[in-house]
């Protein structure tokens, strides 16, 4: 029997490539190849990778809507899980390496840092989605499973908010290092916009028109090529008389 992974090599590629940033991060950390503050660098790196995977997960549906590539929809689960895994590494490196799992010190030091609690909220949402991503939960939750997993958009929004507070810059004045939250926000906006039923229906309709036009052009070219290659009866008679 053909397995799902064999039918969709993209899924296999994701699961092969996704651990590589963690391997590079681990190697860089233990060989002192990070910045002068390796714990901070490792924490930020893991957080960036988590958001990248989350945004890639959110991009799957827009890519299918725009380009009719249903295979990418099968990537949502592995991309979402890898986002969760890297978010766990991000939080563990912050709480463990930075504070030695001293939660009293952690709470005292971060009481006035809302981005930390936004990060915790993002991780909580991703944990719920990862925990219920298995098939048995689809059966247990029924129709509620799809409603629950729409929280991925809430997780994306909170993650972008978290990132916008972490970076050294000002989004309102467009000053500083703001390209990361802007890029993530653009992906989130695209994903949410293409979920609006009239917008999605219009995009699919226009895509089908383009696909039909492309097919018609190919058919016309094939017919034209066939006419050129097929000799006319008059030519066949002339060649026979010769």
For 206-240, write each residue's pLDDT tens digit: 999 999 999 999 888 888 877 776 655 555 555 55
Residues 190 and 225 in one domain: no
Tell me what the mean pLDDT of segment 111-138 comes to. 95
The total number of structural domains that make up the chain: 2
First to last CA, the chain: 61
Phi first, then psi: what are they for 133, rounded to 5°?
A: -80, -5
* Residues contacting 196, CB < 8 A, separation 6+: none
Residues 112 and 230 in one domain: no
Residues 145 and 222 in one domain: no
For helices 38-67 and 151-166, give the axis angle rounded to 10 degrees: 140
The predicted-structure confidence for 50-102, as pLDDT tens digits, reads as follows 999 999 999 999 999 999 999 999 999 999 999 999 999 999 999 999 999 99
pLDDT at 75: 96
Residues 232 and 162 in one domain: no
**How much is the pTM?**
0.86
- The percent of the chain in helix, strand and coil, each rounded to the nearest 5, is 80, 0, 15
Residues 12 and 130 in one domain: yes
Q: How many CA atoms lie within 13 A of 24 on its CB side?
A: 9
Say which residue the tokens 């969709």 belong to: 8
Tell me what the mean pLDDT of segment 131-142 comes to. 94
Residues 148 and 218 in one domain: no
pLDDT at 225: 77
pLDDT at 5: 45
Residues 241 and 179 in one domain: no
Residues 124 and 228 in one domain: no
Contact 188/156 with Cβ under 8 angstroms? Answer: yes
Residues 80 and 178 in one domain: yes
177 vs 78, more confident: 78
Residues 106 and 216 in one domain: no
Name the residue among 92, 110, 109 with its Cα closest to residue 101: 92
Residue 134: give the domain boundaries. Answer: 4-195
* Residues contacting 211, CB < 8 A, separation 6+: 68
Residues 229 and 141 in one domain: no
pLDDT-derived band at 203, boundaries 50, 70, 90: very high
pLDDT-derived band at 3, boundaries 50, 70, 90: very low
pLDDT at 227: 73
Residues 217 and 189 in one domain: no
């Amino acid at each position: 029997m053909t397995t799902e992974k064999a039918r969709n090599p993209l899924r296999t590629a994701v699961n092969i490539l996704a651990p590589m940033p963690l391997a590079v991060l681990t190697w860089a950390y233990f060989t002192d190849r990070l910045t002068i503050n390796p714990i901070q660098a490792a924490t930020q790196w893991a957080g960036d990778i988590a958001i990248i995977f989350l945004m890639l997960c959110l991009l799957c549906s827009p890519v299918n809507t725009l380009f009719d590539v249903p295979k990418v929809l099968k990537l949502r689960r592995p991309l979402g899980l890898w986002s969760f895994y890297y978010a766990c590494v991000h939080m563990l490196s912050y709480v463990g390496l930075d504070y030695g799992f001293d939660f009293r010190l952690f709470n005292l030091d971060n009481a006035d840092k809302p981005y930390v609690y936004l990060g915790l909220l993002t991780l909580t949402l991703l944990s719920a989605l990862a925990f219920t991503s298995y098939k048995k939960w689809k059966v247990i939750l029924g129709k509620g499973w799809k409603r629950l997993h729409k929280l991925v958009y809430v997780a994306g929004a909170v993650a972008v908010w978290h990132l916008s507070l972490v970076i050294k810059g000002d989004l309102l004045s467009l000053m500083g290092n703001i390209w990361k939250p802007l890029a993530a926000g653009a992906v989130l906006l695209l994903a949410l916009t293409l979920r609006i039923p009239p917008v999605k229906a219009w995009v699919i309709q226009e895509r089908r028109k383009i696909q039909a036009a492309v097919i018609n052009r190919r058919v016309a070219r094939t017919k034209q090529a066939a006419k050129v290659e097929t000799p006319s009866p008059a030519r066949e008679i002339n060649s026979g008389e010769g």
